[in-house]
Structure 1
């Protein structure tokens, strides 16, 4: 019989990285690079394993918030004998203050190979003032 240094078999079982790394995995999600190209901020957000339809970006009150959701479902595994099957299921979000003068249409976004690329202008584009006439009664 193999004896462990620990008294309890379950102590060793639950010290397995499978049970301990969930917090570490959450902190490594959405790694972000922000580049200043002179007129824009280029924000690259790593979202490996996420699908484009499960990623969204929202601009509200000057904050750009990125949401990503993943489901733990996987392909059909009928007839297969897994000893362990690991999938991440959950959501994550990250916010950046980009300024209250920006509008959603000022920000450009693309998603390719697990990278969300956002182009955010450093200054809000100048609005062309339209003529507003005062109604004379």
Structure 2
């Protein structure tokens, strides 16, 4: 049976939300909500001198990704369009399940991080980012001396 999907949600999601029907596919929904399949799932590792991010972006190519740093926020964007040139010559398309659209996710990294400090590598559908740990220059503490009576 073909179940229609509107705005990334199946029409019958609420009807099939019975405990007996819940399986391994429901795990992501508990964590991320209904739009789990459209999120950039990310692992963040803390190293001695940096933070390492592994962001899953299956099906995307390197030229469909953008990483920007603005006002202390590191934003990862991905946009995918459908290839309109490919047509099915043998018949009519009944259902198309290819993703077309864009997504983005932002991480606050602080205003002390500069573009040239961030390293990015994309391989096998995983974007790997390395963000150095830098401490912001602390303002000198104001020390007061207690005056006795």
TM-score by length of 1: 0.71
Inter-partner Cα distance in structure 2 for 1:43 and 1:80:
44
Unpaired stretches in structure 2, ≥5 consecutive residues:
10-32, 138-149
Tell me what 1:103 maps to. Answer: 114
Partner of 1:117: 128
Query: What's the offset of the Cα at 1:85?
Result: 2.2
Q: Deviations over 1:6-49 (max 9, x none)?
A: xxxxxx97xx2x41571477433210000011111000100001
| Residues 53-100 of structure 1 deviation map (CA, whole Å, 9 limit, x = unaligned) | 010100010000000001122662342224322211110000000010
Give the RMSD, CA atoms, in angstroms. Answer: 2.6
Return closer, same or farther for 1:97/1:122 CA change in 2, 3 Å cut-off: same
Q: Which residue of 1 aligns with 2:81?
A: 71
Q: Which deviates the most, 71-80 or 46-55?
A: 71-80
How many residue pairs end up in the alignment?
A: 112
**92-101 or 21-30: bigger deviation:** 21-30
The answer (yes or no) to whether the contact 1:107–1:119 under 8 Å persists in 2 is: yes
Q: Unaligned 5+ residue runs, structure 1?
A: 1-11, 127-137
**Equivalent in the alignment of 1:31:** 41
Q: Residue 69 of structure 1 contacts residue 90 of structure 1 at CA under 8 Å; is this kept in 2?
A: yes
Once the two structures are TM-superposed, the CA of residue 124 in structure 1 deviates from its matched residue by 5.8
Match of 1:5 in 2: none
Scaled by the length of structure 2, the TM-score of the pair is 0.66
